[in-house]
Amino acid sequence: MPVEQHSDPIEEHPFEERLSTALHQVGGTFHGDRAALSAAGAAHGRRLRIRRRAAFVSGAAGVALAGVGGVLVVPWDGSSAARPSSVAAAPHAATSSPSTAAVGEKEVIRTLEQLLPEGTFSNEDGRGAGQDPDTRPYASVVYDDGKGPAALSVSVDRVEPGGRQARELTQCPDRTFVPYDACATDRLPDGSAFMVLQGYEYPDRRVDTKLWTANLVTPGGRSVSVREWNAAAEKGAPVSRAEPPLSPAQLKHLTTAQEWRRIADAIPDSPRKGAEQPSAPTGGTAADTLSSLLPKGVEVVKKSGGDDPEYAYVVVDDGQGRSLVQVNVQPDMRDVADDLFHPGDESLADGTRIAVQQGPDEKGVDGVLMWTVDTMRADGKRVVITAFNSATQHSAATRSTPALTMQQMREMALSPKWWQGA
């Protein structure tokens, strides 16, 4: 990738900014969130996902983040590496066997350059497809059309047709987690889903670097992601032009090019079979349960949509300012219990472990606090409640402390309602 982007886009990007990519497939696979990946998380992949839909969509190119958002809290470790990290990544979807021969990195780079309007290229980097089923082809360049150098990259993958990851890649992110100027989706004549997002490299707009992303998922599961900036590098480079070089229409033309589908076909099937995952609770959505457990006196002014049984958020107001509250529900996290809880954390008579944390939000917005209650039952069932003294994770504080007390959050996290029907 241009300048500091020469690393694999699927292995780089911190979640906070880019979703660390949640690792590679957010949603059981977090495609994003890397830097945030805690040591424990890196080992097991499955982590607490507090979705930030943005994570996905604007996350590292090529990473299909289904969960878009995630926060992994390791209460006993203050290092930033142990914080917001995306949730587990789902195993790479094995679709039909590839019908195309291996594609080298030079061909992937050449394909990108040939599909772009006339201009100059530098800092080329890339990776081919056809050898290792666990790597994804990508290409990145610094492209200059005469109006200023701009970092631009493309990544190709194969995802489960009709699966969660495929859906979320082509849905506009929730503005609660990702601020952006515009977002549009489309259904192509062949049934492919397409999304283009005009956003920013940093959600808090600390610098003026813009990041525009386009994602395509075909009915057969081929996935193409293109990202472009208005600077020669995604981070650390000054803005070189008012807007990224390609318009939304040009992004669509590039992303939907047939050449990428042939490269996607060169990705071999993974011999790995995803381990059987525990079933999520089926008694209702996480949003419904979260809303039902809120204390009296707070009004829900906004909440997440969908039928997700494992993640939800609400924005509440008790008359003193809005406050974001999130929950993550995970069926069995026993394999990383010792990474998430310290021996000194509270333990109940039934074996439930409880860890609490109060401090500044990991995103670094001045004055924003993040309070967390992390609970895990003896059978591995985990519920994490997180509250902020702001209405979003990228905006200024709206009050001095979160709307919920730590005791209220504790009672909510320990409620048996999370597991009704599980």
Per-residue model confidence as pLDDT tens digits over 26-39: 333 333 332 222 32
Name the pTM for this structure.
0.64
Q: Is 314 within the bounds of a domain?
A: yes
In sequence order, what E strands does 331-407 have? 346-347, 353-360, 369-376, 382-388
Q: Which helix (H) or strand (E) holds 83?
A: none
Number of folded domains that form the chain:
3
Mean per-residue pLDDT of the chain = 77
Q: What is the CATH number of the domain that holds 153?
A: 3.40.1000
Q: Are residues 146 and 244 in the same domain?
A: yes
Same domain, 50 and 177: no
* CATH number for 378: 2.60.120
Q: How confident is the model at residue 281 (pLDDT cuts 50, 70, 90)?
A: low
Asked if residue 377 belongs to a domain, the reply is yes
38 and 78 inside one domain: yes
Residues in the chain: 422
Residue 280 falls inside a structural domain? no
In a domain, 373, yes or no: yes
Is residue 214, in this structure, part of any structural domain at all?
yes
Residue 283, pLDDT score: 56
Does residue 244 sit in the same domain as residue 358?
A: no
Print the domain residue range for 389. Answer: 286-419
User: Do 110 and 253 belong together in one domain?
Assistant: yes
Q: Which of 265, 298, 318 is the last residue of a domain?
A: 265
Query: Under DSSP, is residue 419 helix (H, G, I), strand (E, B) or coil?
Result: helix
Q: 164-178 in b/e burial notation, b at 16+ Cβ within 10 A?
A: bbbebbbbbbbebbb
In a domain, 100, yes or no: no
Is the dihedral angle over the CA atoms 366, 213, 195, 64 positive or is it negative?
Answer: negative
Predicted local distance difference test score (pLDDT) of residue 306? 73
Same domain, yes or no: 117 and 255: yes
DSSP one-letter code for 117: P
- In this prediction, residue 416 carries a pLDDT of 94
Q: Is residue 92 part of a domain?
A: no
Are both 124 and 77 inside the same structural domain? no
Q: Is 88 part of a structural domain of the chain?
A: no
Among candidates 45, 25, 54, which has minimal Cα distance to 217? 25
241 vs 234: CA distance, rounded Å: 13
CA-to-CA distance for 165 and 64, rounded, in angstroms?
Answer: 6
CA distance 226 to 151: 11
Residues 30 and 121 in one domain: no
Are 318 and 179 members of one domain?
no
